[in-house]
C-alpha cells in the first residue's frame, strides 16, 4: 500500500478510508515489552500503542538534541583545527577559511546543503539564550519546532534580560501547547514586553523575496515573503476573483480558482481565472534549455523532456515553450543512453560550444550539495592547466566562487571518471561522488585556452 493512502489530506478523505477487518485472534501489533514498555503501560491495546509512540517520539527528540549539540561542538573545534593548519593564508583569513572548510566537511558528511547546515548551527547557537527551552529539548519534553517558534519570534531581540524573561514565561505553555499554538502567546508576550524597533522592521522588510521550488507532476511551489498587509490584500484579491468565478457548473475548487487567477493575473493581466491547468503559457517568453529525447521528438515514445532548472516536463508543454522562445538550445539525446548528441550548429565556435556542453551537463556547481546555477559559476580545470591539464570536457567542471577557492585554499581534490561523474576527496580523506545533471559525450581534446 502506498504511504499516501495512509495519510489523508482532508476529513472527506479520512471518512473514505476503508477500515481493516480485525481478527480477534490476531497477535499484538507491537511487542512493547522490555526497554520499550511505556511507563504508563495500559491493558488497552490502543493506549499501549499511543504510549509507545509518545515515548519513541521523546527518545527521538532527545537524540536530535544530542545530535545538534554534537554538530555544533564538532563545527567549533573542527574550524579551529582547520584554521591552525592553513598556514599559507594570512592570519586574517585563516579563521574564515577554517570555518568554511569545516562547514563543507560536515555538510558533505551529513548530505546537507551548506546553507541549511549554517542555519542549523546559527539556530543552535541562538538557543543558548533560552536555557529552559534548551534543557527541555535535551530531555525530550519540547520538540525542535517549539524551539524554532521561540527563535523565530525573538530572533532579533538583543536584550538578554528580556530573552531570559520570555524563556521563563513561555516554557510552561510550551509543555502544553503545539508549536503553532505556542506562537500566539509568544507573539503577544513579545509585543507587550519587547516591541519591535524601526531597525528591526527595516531588517524584516529587507528579507522580502520570491522563490520557486519543484514539486511533483510538472508543478512548482511559488512562495513569496511579503509585508503582511500586501500579502493579505493579494490573497483577498485572488479570493474575490475565485468567488466570482465559482458556481454550480464550475468544477474547480476555490483553491484551484485562486491558483488559476494568480497565473492569469501575472501572465496575462486577466480579471478572472482562465479555463484551468495548461492555460497561461502564452505570456511566457523564455530563453530555455530543453533536453528532448529523439524518439519523443519523433512521436515514438512518451519519454518526457527536461527543462533546465526544473526537471522533467511533458512533451506538449516543451513544444509550446520552445515555439515561444526567442532563443533556446535544443539538446537531442540518445534514446538508450541519454548521452548528448548535439547542442545545435548555431553555436559553432569551439569555446562557446564547450561552455554550452558543460553548462548542459552540470547545470549547477559540482561541489557536493551545492545548487548554485552553472551560469553563475567559474569553469575550473580539475587537473591544473599549468600542470599539463587539458581543456576538455573530461577535465572541466563548474564551481561557484566559494567552492573554487575552497578547492585551492583548503585542499579538496577531485577526479573525473568520464561522462561527467566526479569523485571529491576531502582533506580528511572522506570521499563523495557527484553525478552530472545529464551525460555529455567527450568531445575529444580541445585547443588549449589562451
Q: Are strands 413-416 and 422-425 parallel, antiparallel or unpaired?
A: antiparallel
Which has the minimum average pLDDT: 157-166, 259-268, 328-337, 393-402?
328-337
Q: Does the pLDDT of residue 22 top 80, yes or no?
A: no
pLDDT at 416 > cutoff 90: yes
**What's the CA gap between 117 and 94, in Å, rounded?**
21
Q: Which of 159-173, 185-199, 310-324, 355-369 has the lowest mean pLDDT?
A: 310-324
pTM strictly above 0.75: no
Of the ranges 118-122, 286-290, 321-325, 391-395, which one carries the lowest mean pLDDT score? 286-290
Cβ neighbours of 429 (radius 10 Å): 6
Q: Does 275 have pLDDT greater than 80?
A: no
**Pairing of β 327-333 and β 287-293:** parallel
| pLDDT surpasses 90 at 99 | yes
Q: What distance in Å separates the CA atoms of residue 443 and residue 440, rounded to the nearest whole number?
A: 8
Q: Is the pLDDT of residue 407 over 90?
A: yes
Q: Look at residue 425 and tell me whether its pLDDT is greater than 50.
A: yes
Q: Which residue has the higher pLDDT, 438 or 220?
A: 220
**Per-residue model confidence as pLDDT tens digits over 131-143:** 999 999 999 999 9
Q: How confident is the model at residue 386 (pLDDT cuts 50, 70, 90)?
A: confident
For the chain, give the secondary structure using H, E and C: CCHHHHCCCCHHHHHHCCCCCCCCCCCCCCCCCHHHCCCCCCCCHHHHHHHHHHHHHHHHHHHHHHHHHHHHHHHHHHHHHHHHHCCCCCHHHHHHHHHHHHHHHHHHHHCCCHHHHHHHHHHHHHHHHCHHHHHHHHCCCCCHHHHHHHHHHCCCCCCHHHHHHHHHHHHHHHCCCCHHHHHHHHHHHHHHHCCCCHHHHHHHHHCCEEEEEECCCCCEEEEEECCHHHHHHHHHHHHHHHHHHCCCCCCCCHHHHHHHHHHHHHHHCCCCCCCCCCCCHHHCCCEEEEEEEHHHHCCCCCCCEEECCCEEECHHHHHHHHHHCCEEEEEEECCCCCCEEECCCCCCCHHHHHHHHHHHHHCECCCCCCCCEHHHCEEEECCCHHHCCCCCCCCEEEECHHHHHHHHHHCCEEEECCCCCEEEECCCCCEEEECCCCCECCCCCCCCCC
What average pLDDT does the structure give for the chain? 79
Q: Is 280 left (phi over 0), alpha (psi -120 to 50) or beta?
A: left
What pLDDT is stored for residue 392 in this prediction? 79
Cα distance between residue 246 and residue 192, in whole Å:
42
CA–CA gap between residue 177 and residue 183 (Å, rounded): 9
Question: What share of the chain has pLDDT > 70, as a percent?
Answer: 69
Amino acid at each position: 500500500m502506498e504511504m499516501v493512502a495512509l495519510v489523508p489530506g482532508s476529513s472527506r478523505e479520512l471518512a473514505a478510508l476503508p477500515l481493516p477487518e480485525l481478527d480477534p485472534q490476531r497477535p499484538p501489533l507491537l511487542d512493547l515489552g522490555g526497554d520499550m514498555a511505556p511507563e504508563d503501560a495500559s491493558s488497552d491495546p490502543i493506549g499501549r500503542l499511543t504510549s509507545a509512540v509518545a515515548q519513541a517520539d521523546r527518545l527521538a527528540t532527545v537524540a536530535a538534541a544530542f545530535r545538534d549539540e554534537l554538530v555544533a561542538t564538532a563545527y567549533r573545534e573542527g574550524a579551529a583545527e582547520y584554521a591552525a593548519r592553513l598556514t599559507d593564508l594570512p592570519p586574517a583569513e585563516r579563521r574564515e577559511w577554517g570555518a568554511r572548510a569545516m562547514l563543507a566537511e560536515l555538510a558533505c558528511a551529513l548530505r546537507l546543503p551548506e546553507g541549511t547546515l549554517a542555519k542549523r548551527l546559527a539556530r543552535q547557537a541562538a538557543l543558548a539564550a533560552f536555557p529552559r527551552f534548551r534543557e527541555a529539548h535535551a530531555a525530550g519534553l519540547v520538540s525542535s519546532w517549539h524551539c524554532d517558534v521561540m527563535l523565530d519570534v525573538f530572533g532579533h531581540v538583543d536584550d538578554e534580560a528580556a530573552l531570559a524573561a520570555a524563556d521563563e514565561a513561555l516554557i510552561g505553555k510550551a509543555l502544553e501547547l503545539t508549536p503553532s499554538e505556542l506562537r500566539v502567546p509568544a507573539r503577544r508576550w513579545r509585543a507587550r514586553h519587547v516591541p519591535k524597533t524601526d531597525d528591526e522592521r527595516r531588517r524584516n522588510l529587507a528579507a522580502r523575496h520570491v522563490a520557486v521550488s519543484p514539486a511533483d507532476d510538472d508543478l512548482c511551489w511559488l512562495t513569496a515573503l511579503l509585508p503582511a498587509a500586501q500579502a493579505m490584500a493579494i490573497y483577498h484579491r485572488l479570493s474575490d476573483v475565485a468567488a466570482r468565478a465559482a458556481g454550480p457548473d464550475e468544477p474547480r475548487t476555490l483553491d484551484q480558482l485562486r491558483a488559476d487567477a494568480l497565473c492569469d493575473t501575472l501572465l496575462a493581466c486577466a480579471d478572472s481565472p482562465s479555463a484551468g491547468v495548461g492555460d497561461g503559457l502564452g505570456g511566457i517568453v523564455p530563453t530555455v534549455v530543453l533536453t528532448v529525447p529523439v524518439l519523443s521528438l519523433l512521436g515514438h515514445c512518451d519519454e518526457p523532456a527536461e527543462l533546465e532548472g526544473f526537471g522533467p516536463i511533458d512533451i506538449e508543454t516543451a513544444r509550446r515553450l520552445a515555439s515561444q522562445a526567442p532563443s533556446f538550445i535544443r539538446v537531442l539525446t540518445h534514446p538508450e543512453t541519454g548521452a548528448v548528441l548535439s547542442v545545435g550548429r548555431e553555436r559553432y565556435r569551439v569555446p562557446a560550444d564547450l561552455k554550452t556542453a558543460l553548462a548542459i551537463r552540470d547545470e549547477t556547481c559540482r561541489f557536493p550539495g551545492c545548487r548554485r546555477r552553472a551560469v553563475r559559476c567559474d569553469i575550473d580545470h580539475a587537473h591544473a592547466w599549468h600542470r599539463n591539464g587539458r581543456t576538455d570536457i573530461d577535465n572541466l567542471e563548474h564551481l561557484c566562487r566559494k567552492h573554487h577557492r575552497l578547492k585551492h585554499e583548503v585542499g579538496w581534490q577531485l577526479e573525473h571518471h568520464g561522462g561527467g561523474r566526479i569523485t571529491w576527496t576531502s582533506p580528511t580523506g572522506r570521499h563523495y561522488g557527484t553525478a552530472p545533471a545529464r551525460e555529455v559525450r567527450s568531445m575529444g581534446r580541445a585547443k588549449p585556452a589562451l
